[in-house]
């Protein structure tokens, strides 16, 4: 029971971004013996998808973006199975002003000069999951993204899940089409890090930036879109299908939304069977206000509970007018 509950909490990132779990499983083993220190130079287990398939989303994400520095979104997760229900965690998304503090002084100065996007996600357990099952999750994900191409440059993850503590740094080379993934077991600092180098694409997103790239798309016109998402050194093809419009009630008000089917289960990114749906505002910012994960272990419902500093229509180069003026949009905070 403990394992299933923990997996449900970790699935919160799946509800807000196109991918979180690697194809081979839900957790990442780190910091073991000599084989973990070896550098993997062979072709990736997951074949690289064709770059031509992502030209549509790549071109769109370079246009006027639907978010700005300082944007803050907070979500609460609730687990349900039969008569059991309760809060299990929360997750926050931030578009920050400061460069990521994960590099040398020289690199930080370089980041500051070129003005990279910095995205940060914090995921924490709370409620009955922590009280009754002793499962604590406190994960931080940070991503640096090139402001011109919206290509991911560097990803850092600090994962604290129960007794496991690890740090994962992933660096991308657009010119060489390579990615280097370094995993350090913070609970066993004497163990050598696990290093993996793989082939990549010239343009690729990560688990964090892929969510923002999705929001930049014209989801009302394009029924199916595909995104290249790099996770732990491998590149996955993530499909998003638009299922139609729905008006939904939340504690922040009533929203006109687009319902999205995030096709990640059944062997695509996650081997287990399941369904993941998102409801995003049907306006220029495509803010997820609701999510739902259905698995055999239970259902996780995700709700937007707070949002700050979202981008006004007046700040967009081509403002979009919501069709139903009686409905609340993401402009209302």
Render pLDDT for 121-149 as a digit per residue (tens, 0 to 9).
Answer: 999 888 876 666 667 888 999 999 998 88
Tens of pLDDT along 19-48? Answer: 333 333 333 444 444 434 344 444 345 778
Question: Mean of the per-residue pLDDT values for the chain?
Answer: 78
Average the pLDDT over each of 191-200, 222-231, 312-321 and give the range with the smallest value.
312-321
**Percent of the chain that is helix, strand, coil (3-state, to 5):** 15, 45, 40
Q: What is the value of pTM for the model shown? A: 0.79
């Amino acid at each position: 029971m403990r394992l299933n509950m923990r997996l449900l909490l970790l699935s919160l990132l799946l509800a807000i971004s196109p991918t979180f779990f690697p194809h081979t499983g839900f957790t990442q083993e780190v910091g073991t013996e000599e084989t973990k220190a070896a550098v993997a130079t062979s072709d990736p287990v997951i074949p690289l998808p064709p770059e031509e398939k992502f030209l549509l989303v790549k071109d769109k994400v370079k246009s006027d973006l639907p978010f700005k520095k300082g944007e803050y979104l907070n979500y609460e997760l609730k687990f349900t199975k039969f008569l059991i229900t309760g809060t299990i965690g929360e997750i926050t998304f931030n578009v920050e002003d400061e460069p990521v503090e994960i590099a040398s002084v020289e690199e930080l100065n370089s980041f500051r000069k070129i003005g990279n996007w910095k995205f940060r996600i914090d995921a924490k357990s709370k409620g009955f999951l922590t009280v009754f099952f002793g499962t604590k999750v406190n994960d931080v994900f940070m991503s640096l993204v090139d402001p011109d191409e919206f290509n991911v440059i560097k990803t850092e993850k600090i994962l604290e899940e129960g007794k496991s503590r690890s740090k994962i740094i992933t660096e991308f080379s657009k010119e060489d089409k390579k990615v280097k993934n370094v995993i350090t077991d913070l609970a066993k600092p004497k163990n050598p890090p696990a290093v993996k180098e793989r082939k990549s694409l010239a343009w690729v997103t990560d688990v964090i930036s892929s969510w923002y790239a999705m929001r930049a798309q014209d989801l009302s016109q394009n029924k199916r879109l595909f995104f290249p998402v790099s996770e732990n050194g491998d590149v996955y093809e993530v499909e998003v299908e638009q299922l139609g419009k729905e008006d939904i009630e939340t504690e922040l008000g009533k929203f006109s939304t687009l319902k999205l089917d995030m096709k990640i289960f059944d062997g695509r990114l996650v081997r287990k069977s399941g369904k993941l749906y998102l409801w995003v505002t049907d306006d220029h910012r495509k803010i997820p206000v609701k999510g739902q994960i259905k698995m055999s272990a239970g259902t996780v419902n995700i709700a937007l509970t707070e949002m700050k500093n979202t981008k006004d229509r007046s700040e967009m180069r081509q403002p979009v007018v919501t069709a139903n003026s009686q409905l609340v949009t993401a402009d209302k905070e």
